[in-house]
Structure 1
């Protein structure tokens, strides 16, 4: 059981919600995640009544159910009840600046403007300014004791000074989560569990671990501001042409930890969280803040996960990873691996992020500017790495996939994205989404859409493919060539190369690597650790490398300094121990290894799992045709096409295997005790004419095919043909299949079913559109090809479809007969 789609629940009537559950079950899916989006009476009588209906329908159909862990997105709202505990509402530390020129004896400054109701004074610190936003760390002075009734009394020394009024309160910069739970407050997890989890256990505890699998957590965050790109020292936003300083997540528990780290200097250090001072002190201050905040976040998560363990259920989900937010504040949770502490799977979200063939750079989409280097090379590896590094996750890597792609997402793109995820180690999918609202405008597509999605009859083909693929890549060992250090700690303290840049070089050379955080190094002790360039690293990293004698490569250069106090000789000892390799040369470390192609294949990806390999050509235009060096394994290699359920012995030459994959094609290579027959040699006999076809259409909302004035193959969505048509286009002709063993439809838009004299030869949802022809069909027959579009031609007027090009529809061809 490796697929559990989101089932949205808005408070629909029982008949409607049961209809949607029946659709899920009819596709062969055996589980779903029940998501209030939102429910109008979450945790109230109507909610429980509705959930009773859902569980009864699931039980009748032998489906497992996951509960969302809150009443709306994102997690942390706690059913709107956090206001009952003011001490648990999100709190923030803000810095307000006042720049003054000294000397000025007997000066006073009122801080009352920054102290409205609910906001308290935390500290007042003054520091000499070197420039507009650079401060002299040596002059930091704590003036908090000189504040009386909200007024600072101070003799300003000569020079330019900045007075930082630091306030604490519940006013952050993300209005949507203003009254959310503070995950780094003491008692936060207990409150969340008491309000949401215990309420579900009280009513449904007897089904925990059986009918009910667990809870799904969706994008919890610090939420001190909006956006993915938070960086210390930069304004959070610009309003009315003026920069506005960010606020930081805060709590008494965090302050206690900072005081323990900084001692008497604690308040004096705070301005360095906003303005640059002496480089090393600034870096160490920011690193310590992030380190302690994310450790507190991890403790919050651990408590939630422990409750689930004790209750016999699991906790899964993901944080905001977008554009590298997984290492940052704002919409992020600061540290991906710590934020998933307590969860039972690695988890990510693939929402409009990956477009086949787009591997780097920036592009604009519905949710802003996308960092394609991260999405393509890094995102999925976060989930699979967490799955294999953390024992409680047991190799399970989850992705909430396909949401917000728009109505142009059909089964072909779903197959491409499934391959993208699987070859990076993801083996549990949460498809987004099933909505009981027909034509729901909320983040389409919706797979069933009241039965109006024309590709819905073929949805089980994708489901069966994805289920089998995830099953093949579960419960075993994901082999890798190295581990790449997670870069969060380095980014907190200075310039840092993101881990995905290293992964790109390795993956384009058919090498694989897990991403490993510093916290896990001692437990996993990698044979080879690759550290992306970092201006500074924590001294703990150097100490671990040396203590465990880990073979380590630093990319491009060794660090310049540490982000914390370290022994004087530590850097020199580290430098003597490690090697430095330029990023562009990393792949050369593995040229003699198995799975090396006979020539460079930058589009070929290989996942090695137990004694099998999953291979994907991620090019949308080029064919991979190469010889791969095989590992020394017992048995005979067998190539399996999971989509067509076909397998054969590939062409071999000594210890090498011939691999040919068309654009976006994939296969599984396994070893069997006995060899299978070779793939029959197919010789192209002829292409069928592009003209002379009988064409009819069945619109997505219609039940009958109706003739149209077309007789030729080619793109159908053109102004002079079938522009604006969504549904199934049928092509028919009388064809002599004497000696024909296979038919290739060429290009189709987008799912295709081939029927010969009324007998279906199968459905293809993606390339190649190749069908085997049984020996019974050798006389002239009626050849029928049904090509089904997505709903985009009639529903693309939305922000989700606005940033993509739509593929041609219909049967484009050429249709080739093989003997």
Structure 2
């Protein structure tokens, strides 16, 4: 972000990063809101370390959403946040998806509600004459000869008299295709039952005037009450999942005219064929044209219009879509991703349940961060953790965040630290918030070093050719496993890309030198021309497995065959592909260490993340030469200078040990910072000196003590206990040579899930995530030692640690979708305690 930033200034600023680069607390106003409650909650939020909040309406909020008193209480909250130096975002709906303004479109603008093309009626006749009564919304009829499995489509004009003459006598299935008011399900804060259903309709996203009414009923009213804080205390608006989760096709009254103007043919006669069980190639192409048209209307009437309003009022507009992790479903309900993200100030994703987890290869965060990189936007936004369960641990929270950091997601919205206020690990919440703020800021002030573009085949998805998107995702995952960063793009982002010499630039700053395409069926002609120019300038183009089949112009129905070998080369395997891309950073013999490489001025920022539960011991090669390497120490929140680097003038080699789930932040620079503490990177596995697994005193409270080896609390008869348990052990240590010559640590890799340690009454600190390791060199004595470890679990055990509690929640989950999701997660978190091994280790 800042080409001239000095490391000395940066090292000071990480202790107090700006509010706008910090994690956002999702501040939900539910039930009765008053001035006292607002002040109490703001103090709690501020004390946790939050510097930004998103004000959002919650279930059954009082005062009523969008009433005069609602705006007054929001205004009071903004004033109080300002006094505490807290920045504010505003959610534009109560609650989601964005675009229904509460009850507004049902009551005030019913003619501007969302519309769809649907099967209005379906019936069977045995005749060649069918009586139909068309109306203003009727579009056509699809007739299927059920005996011969033949289909015929009829336009409205052919049965305007009320009678439809079928080609011959047979058994016919008749589908009457019409436009009608249909809405995606909405969840409104004042819904009598709290359900998500179609009671409160969304506006017509494809109607410019309907969206303008939404803006006037929400955005303009906020402006009337708190507009003086726009661009000051108030940073922007947040929109949540605007989409078409409907049974049918998105529709607006003039869409057929728009289609004709853009595509040059009348689509109405083809619309009935869209409702066949299986589409032939011709209809797939027409449907792809329809998806192209309606999704572009969506981009321009909804996203662009709100974006422009926010920009004119000094605000930022942030919105995430629905189903980023299920791209085929996203295309069905959103039309496209990349085009919509052209009209947000911060591209965004949604990680509300375990779309990102240890057992998944989740690539979708790259969609949003790629748009940020291509558009030169410093931040990428993530709504995270809404339904990860009450039993989530601090280590798991950190892992999910680190996974996103590794893809350059650096602005997080979450309510989890307030939602889990009674979590046994809440002691550590401020520390993990500080950790998130520091990394977010470092990624905010740095610029990406990505050199590879991977084409994402949106047109193929419109045409039902889903395999190409799967291949693009396969390529992306393979590149990341091989420490090759990249950005996704599609044809809608070409306006940001410029070819100069052998590279592709974005606004003369970011540069790419390789374009990779998955095996695709349809290549847009504007992209084809772009690739031909890039190839003619010496740019490298790689086609994975096959060349494209067709190149199409403005319509999928007008195309020509791609000429093989005209541009680029084909590679047959991921291994071959990886070898053709030059890497700036190599992690030798590991696919588990993720690398994010960015620049801060002339310095290099390297974020390393071991995604696996296995330690990494090996070599990391930085293929550039810098005089100094600094490493961030999260415990002290400061950078230290690495002493044991090897440099040959061309690259830097680091021998490195990384604990499971560990992150490291390095900065390689020629800038020398005087007075920085020096440190050696760990270059060896922990060596066990003494094991401490047996004969523990285990205090579940001050009046009850167990004597046992290390087991989980369930095995000890405390299956539903949630809170703190104190472990005490007396042990003898006689390794004089280690006391004199080695650095010794207490190592507890199986803490579930938080630990504080005292050795010989000296407090050594708390840990909530890997490595669960404490330096005991100074506290350890020859002879008798007293070790005390306090363990805290999560609320999961108390929630469902007995069969009776579990069955009760299972019944509740039958009526609560979100509980049914989080319950599965919480069941995994019941096991609690300090498990073996517990050992004294030495590290070289």
Offset at residue 20 of structure 1 (A): 2.4
Give a deviation string over 1:584-627, Cα, whole Å, max 9, x none.
3354334753323332x22121111111211111112x222222
Shift of 1:134: 6.3
CA shift in 2, pair 1:205/1:411, >3 Å: same
- Aligned to 1:64, which of 87, 112, 132? 87
Change (3 A) 1:264 1:468: closer
Q: Give the superposition deviation at 1:407.
A: 1.3
Q: Which of 769, 773, 778 does residue 772 from structure 2 map onto?
A: 769
Separation (CA, whole Å) in 2 of partners of 1:536 and 1:160: 38
Match of 1:534? 520
Instruction: Compute the TM-score of the two structures, normalised by the length of structure 1.
Output: 0.84
How many Å apart are 1:213 and its aligned residue?
1.3
Task: Summarize the alignment of residues 638-717 of structure 1 with structure 2, pairs less than 5 Å apart.
Answer: 638-642=630-634, 645=637, 647=640, 648-650=642-644, 652=646, 654=648, 655=651, 656-672=653-669, 673=671, 676-679=678-681, 684=687, 686-697=689-700, 705-712=701-708, 714-717=710-713
- 2-side partners of 1:588 and 1:317: how far apart? 34
Q: Is 2:471 the counterpart of 1:501? A: no
> Is 2:425 aligned against 1:455?
yes
Equivalent residue number for residue 305 of structure 2: 303
Cα gap change, 1:304 to 1:583, in 2 (>3 Å): farther
- Deviations along 1:380-423, one digit per CA (max 9) or x if unpaired, are 112211221224xx131111111211112121101111110100
Instruction: Give the CA RMSD over aligned residues.
Output: 3.1
Deviation by residue 1:427-485 (Cα, 9 ceiling, x = unmatched): 011123466xxxxxxxxxx231xxx2211111011111111111121122212241111
Question: Relative to structure 1, is the Cα distance of residues 30 and 306 closer, same or farther in structure 2, using a 3 angstrom cutoff?
Answer: same
| Other structure's SS at 1:293 match | helix
- State the secondary structure of the residue aligned to 1:306: helix
**CA distance in 2 between partners of 1:818 and 1:155 (Å):** 85
The aligned counterpart of 1:783 is: 787
Aligned counterparts of 1:282 and 1:306: Cα–Cα separation in 2: 36
Structure 2 residue 677 is the aligned partner of structure 1 residue 718: no
Q: Is the 8 A contact 2:551 2:560 kept in 1?
A: no
Find the partner of 1:744 among 747, 751, 776.
747
Structure 2: distance between partners of 1:617 and 1:131: 60
Q: Does residue 36 of structure 2 align to residue 36 of structure 1? A: no
In 1: Cα distance, 2:79 partner to 2:165 partner: 70
Query: For the structure 1 residues 618 and 126, does the alpha-carbon distance in structure 2 shift closer, same or farther, using more than 3 Å as the test?
Result: closer
* Distance in 1, Cα, partners of 2:480 & 2:199: 38
Match of 1:616 in 2: 609
Question: Residue 798 of structure 2 corresponds to which residue in structure 1?
Answer: 794
Report deviation, 1:662: 2.2
Q: Displacement, 1:97?
A: 7.0
Give the SS at the match of 1:252. coil
Equivalent pairs counted in the alignment come to: 744
1:362 corresponds to: none
Q: What stretches of structure 1 of length at least 5 have no aligned partner? A: 226-246, 360-375, 436-445, 698-704
**1:109-120 matched pairs, under 5 angstroms:** 109-111=131-133, 120=136
- SS of alignment partner, residue 667 of structure 1: strand
Question: SS in structure 1 opposite 2:587?
Answer: coil
CA deviation profile, 1:152-187 (whole Å, cap 9, x unmatched): 343635778775532111035744376111111121
Give 1:253-402 correspondences, 5 Å limit. 253-261=254-262, 263=264, 265-275=266-276, 279-299=280-300, 300-325=302-327, 328=330, 332-354=333-355, 356-359=357-360, 376-391=361-376, 394-402=377-385
8 Å CA contact 1:78–1:195 kept in 2: the answer is: yes
CA drift at 1:754 = 2.0
Residues in 2 aligned to 1:3 and 1:339: alpha-carbon distance in whole angstroms: 24
Deviates more, 1:805-814 or 1:202-211: 805-814
- Residue pair 1:749, 1:807 contacting (<8 A) in 2 also: no
Does the Cα contact within 8 Å between 2:117 and 2:179 map onto a contact in 1?
yes
Question: How far does residue 249 in structure 1 lie from its aligned partner after superposition?
Answer: 1.1
Are residue 409 (structure 1) and residue 398 (structure 2) matched?
A: no
Match of 2:569 among 560, 574, 579: 579
CA 1:350 to 1:340, structure 2 compared with 1: closer, same or farther past 3 Å? Answer: same
The separation in 2 between residues aligned to 1:468 and 1:168, in whole angstroms, is 52
* Counterpart-to-counterpart distance in 1, 2:490 and 2:694: 60
Gaps of 5+ in 2: 1-20, 186-196, 498-503, 505-511, 734-738, 801-808, 810-818
Task: Please tell me whether the aligned partners of residues 6 and 33 of structure 1 are also in contact (alpha carbons under 8 angstroms).
Answer: yes
- CA distance in 2 between partners of 1:731 and 1:745 (Å): 13
Change (3 A) 1:219 1:681: closer
Q: Distance in 2 between matches of 1:52 and 1:454?
A: 34
Shift of 1:90: 0.2
Q: Which moved more, 1:504-513 or 1:560-569?
A: 560-569
2:117 maps to what in 1?
93
User: Does structure 2 conserve the Cα–Cα contact (< 8 Å) formed by 1:125 and 1:268?
Assistant: no
Give the conservation status (yes or no) of the 8 Å contact 1:219–1:318. yes
In structure 2, the partner of 1:634 is 626
